[in-house]
Structure 1
Amino acid sequence: MTNKFFPEEQISENDLYFLCYMVERVARKLHQKNKYVVNSIPKEEWERLFSLANVLHCDNPLKIEAEWIEEYKLTTGNFDITDVDLELVDKIPSETQMGKVYTRLILSTLQPEEDYIDGMIRVYNDEICNTIDNYNSSAYYEPSYVITRAYNNGGF
């Protein structure tokens, strides 16, 4: 995938990771599922965000959160990912950890005809995200190949 503004530059896996991390941050802040954030931003905007990711990662994440919420008119929901059974969960994974989980899943299932944007939209709209984002289960900390196999098989 090439950079929209600098065609000689390629979008990197780190750019994908940064945007997965930001999706997680914004979704948690708004009490929404990641899918809501991904689907609320038009594909053309994702192209712009991917092309700017190598610069945006230097910016304050709180500022980027606020900009996304305002620019894409994102609203607060009622999904609280941190609402877990404390007998089952002693530590909720961070936004960075979950950004890595989703980045690895997107990369490991990327189809030849897909770019990172198509892969991201496909993965975040899959039912497996409900399992991965249920921190009362162990899905999110399974090895990458287990998560990929579960995705390919339609669930855990």
Structure 2
Amino acid sequence: MNEKERNDYFYVCALIEYIARETRNHRGDIVSAIGEAGIEKLLYDAEVNHCLSFEQVSDEVIEYYKIHQGDFDTISGCNYSIPSFLDIGKLYSIMIEDCAKKGEEVKELMKIFSSFISDEISDFNTDLYYQNPDYLEWSYREGRLLE
């Protein structure tokens, strides 16, 4: 992955996290609603969308893909400081780069956001987000949190 692609994946992952928080949905529900072609379009548009606010792009994506409000609230009941959507987006983009085979990055993005690890990362009442990224990656690969 070159630097532009890294930036684009980081942006799209952060956008997915932002939309999920705004709509109170599981991250997997967001990528499912957008679909593979939609993710590819967001990646294609990422360089231009960087110039816009996350709020504006989020509103447009929510409207275009008809993403409804859910009840997966990871913010209001949190007892600890919440990592920013940018921090979480960076984490996901690193996992995609480390786990994806060349040319299959979009499929891997969808798999990671739809896997158990995504809900685990979204539980901000745990310290999972602060764990070593290698731990998160290998837990994802194994399909369970490693001991």
- Confirm or deny a common fold (TM above 0.5): yes
- Cross-structure match for 1:122: 111
Choose between structure 1 and 2 for higher RCO, CA contacts under 8 A separated by at least 6 residues. Answer: 2
TM-score, with normalisation over the residues of structure 1? 0.85
Q: Per-residue deviation at 1:121?
A: 0.6
- Cross-structure match for 2:142: 153
Share of identical aligned residues, percent?
26
Q: Per-residue deviation at 1:85?
A: 4.8
Q: Per-residue deviation at 1:78?
A: 0.7
Unpaired stretches in structure 1, ≥5 consecutive residues: 2-8
Please give the alpha-carbon distance, in whole angstroms, between the structure 1 residues aligned to 2:82 and 2:50: 23
State the AA in 1 paired with 2:31: V
- Cross-structure match for 1:5: none
Q: Per-residue deviation at 1:48?
A: 1.6
Please give the alpha-carbon distance, in whole angstroms, between the structure 1 residues aligned to 2:82 and 2:41: 31
Please give the alpha-carbon distance, in whole angstroms, between the structure 1 residues aligned to 2:38 and 2:9: 14
- Cross-structure match for 1:57: 50
TM-score, with normalisation over the residues of structure 2? 0.90
- Superposed CA RMSD in Å reads 1.9
- Cross-structure match for 1:28: 21
After superposition, where does 1:105-144 map in structure 2 within 5 Å?
Answer: 105-112=95-102, 114=104, 116-144=105-133
State the AA in 2 paired with 1:122: K
Match of 2:94 among 104, 118, 125: 104
State the AA in 1 paired with 2:141: N
Please give the alpha-carbon distance, in whole angstroms, between the structure 2 residues aligned to 1:85 and 1:51: 34
Structure number, greater radius of gyration: 1
Unpaired stretches in structure 2, ≥5 consecutive residues: none
Q: Is the 8 A contact 2:15 2:58 kept in 1?
A: yes
Q: Per-residue deviation at 1:101?
A: 1.1
Q: Is the 8 A contact 1:11 1:51 kept in 2?
A: no
Q: Per-residue deviation at 1:125?
A: 1.2
- SS at 2:37 equivalent: helix
